[in-house]
Amino acid sequence: AQKVTQAQTEISVVEKEDVTLDCVYETRDTTYYLFWYKQPPSGELVFLIRRNSFDEQNEISGRYSWNFQKSTSSFNFTITASQVVDSAVYFCALSEFDSNYQLIWGAGTKLIIKP
Amino acid sequence: DAGVTQSPTHLIKTRGQQVTLRCSPKSGHDTVSWYQQALGQGPQFIFQYYEEEERQRGNFPDRFSGHQFPNYSSELNVNALLLGDSALYLCASSFPGGITDTQYFGPGTRLTVL
């Protein structure tokens, strides 16, 4: 079974629309970490956020916000007022004790923002 | 503050050859991890180096080996290249010692095996 599921393979929206990228994870650990990374066409993975399992507070950073819900094992990412520069592949990742804290990656969601 | 750097940017090899990829970690970082990312997929963990030792290893054959130098830079060596080794190879570094710390990635080396 997939430990990190990003069900949306590709999303296409028009600039200025809000968009939410879904991430569902699976773990038996009580202490774990969740991450979002952005990978633009250049290829470099850019760190966006890290959350530990004990901190369920939602986070907002500019146009980006994250909704962490342990009850549904989800860690969703919302971009408000999307811009063309947000076009990239976005990866959700899990780090847990059972896997020696190595990053377990989702398959990624390709986000296309049309002008 | 220099980020993670990798060289070369692109590389073309033929089957059976050997290749060495290089990585310099972000300033202040001492742990280096290597990942392989095939087209359209997420990264796959190869191994991690800390204090010049391989600390953890993913599910990759012995053809994949590495090294970490006293200045924390690292090399990834792949022997007997196969067509399936064609991928983007990413290096990531993290803060001192902690295996749970956030990893910061370099721009990657695109390896093509013909």
pLDDT, average across residues B89-107: 84
CB of B38 within 8 Å of a chain A CB? The answer is no
CB of A40 within 8 Å of a chain B CB? The answer is no
pLDDT, average across residues B57-63: 95
User: How many CA atoms lie within 13 Å of B9's alpha carbon, on the beta-carbon side?
Assistant: 3
Give the gap in angstroms from C-alpha B23 to the nearest C-alpha of chain A. Answer: 13
pLDDT, average across residues A26-41: 93
How many Å apart are CA A26 and CA A87, to the nearest integer? Answer: 27
pLDDT, average across residues B5-9: 97
Q: Is the pLDDT of residue A1 over 60?
A: no
CB of A50 within 8 Å of a chain B CB? The answer is yes
CB of A35 within 8 Å of a chain B CB? The answer is yes
Give the gap in angstroms from C-alpha A7 to the nearest C-alpha of chain B. Answer: 13
Interval B10-50: pLDDT, tens:
999 999 999 999 999 999 899 999 999 999 889 999 999 99
Of residues A108 and A56, which shows the higher confidence score?
A: A108
Report the pLDDT value the prediction gives residue B97, as an integer from 0 to 100.
Answer: 56
Report the pLDDT value the prediction gives residue A57, as an integer from 0 to 100.
Answer: 86
Report the pLDDT value the prediction gives residue B7, as an integer from 0 to 100.
Answer: 97
Window A:51-90, CB contacts with B under 8 Å: none
CB B11 within 8 A of CB B19: yes
Q: Is the peptide bond before B8 cis (omega within 30 degrees of 0)?
A: yes
pLDDT, average across residues A85-95: 96
Find the range with the poorest average confidence among A34-43, A92-101, B12-21.
A92-101
Q: Is the pLDDT of residue A49 over 90?
A: yes
CB of B2 within 8 Å of a chain A CB? The answer is no
Interval A54-89: pLDDT, tens:
988 888 999 999 999 999 999 999 999 999 999 999
- Collapsing DSSP to helix, strand or coil, B83 comes out as helix
| DSSP at A31 | S
Q: Cβ contact (<8 Å) for A45 and B42?
A: no
Strand partners, A75: A68
Q: Cβ contact (<8 Å) for A106 and B90?
A: no
Highest mean pLDDT: which of A1-15, B63-77, B93-107? B63-77
Least CA distance to B105: which residue of chain A?
A: A45
pLDDT grade for B1, boundaries at 50, 70 and 90: low
pLDDT, average across residues B58-84: 97
Find the range with the poorest average confidence among A3-7, B16-20, B75-79, B97-101.
B97-101
